[in-house]
Amino acid sequence: MTKKTHSNCPVYYALDFIGDKWSLIILRDIMLEEKKFFLDFIGSHEGIATNILTNRLANLESDGFINKIRDTADKKRFVYSPTKKGLDILPVIIAMITWSSKYIAKGSPASNFMAMVNDDPVKFEKDICAKFSNQTE
């Protein structure tokens, strides 16, 4: 996802930014799992490597999906949060959850999100956006 082709196809355009697995996983962690710090993302059970995480966080920031600000309480670390542009990716994530809840193996341990999304996807999105309503951009 280094070079953006800026295709005139809107599907490909979106994939230029979130067409790799890790970028969407990070956005999921930020928006759904309320992760904020570098080590939070490292703690995801998917196991992203530190160099890849650094690269993806930088891309997501320069592409305007997330903000990166130094934590005032603990200046060693940075707080990562979604921008409006990033929050607007939520419908894509929700659509994936809807699809998965239909096709995931019955025996699989169900995620909380599946029930919530199936129950009321609009409310699900609104509730998450409300958590980040203090975002300026």
DSSP 13-52: HHHHHH-SHHHHHHHHHHHTS---SHHHHHTSTT---HHH
CB of 5 to a copy of itself, least distance (A): 8
Interacting positions 12-41 with DNA (CB under 7 A)? 20, 22, 37-40
CA 59 to chain centre: 13
CB of 23 to a copy of itself, least distance (A): 10
Contacts to a copy of itself by CB under 8 A: 5-15, 19-21, 24-25, 28, 32, 45-46, 85, 88-89, 91-105, 108-111, 113-114
Q: Which is nearer to a copy of itself, 88 or 127 (CB)?
A: 88
Taking CB within 5 to 8 Å according to partner kind, which of DNA, a copy of itself, none is near residue 94? Answer: a copy of itself
Structure tokens at 21: 């697995």
Angle between helices 21-31 and 10-18 (to 10 degrees): 80
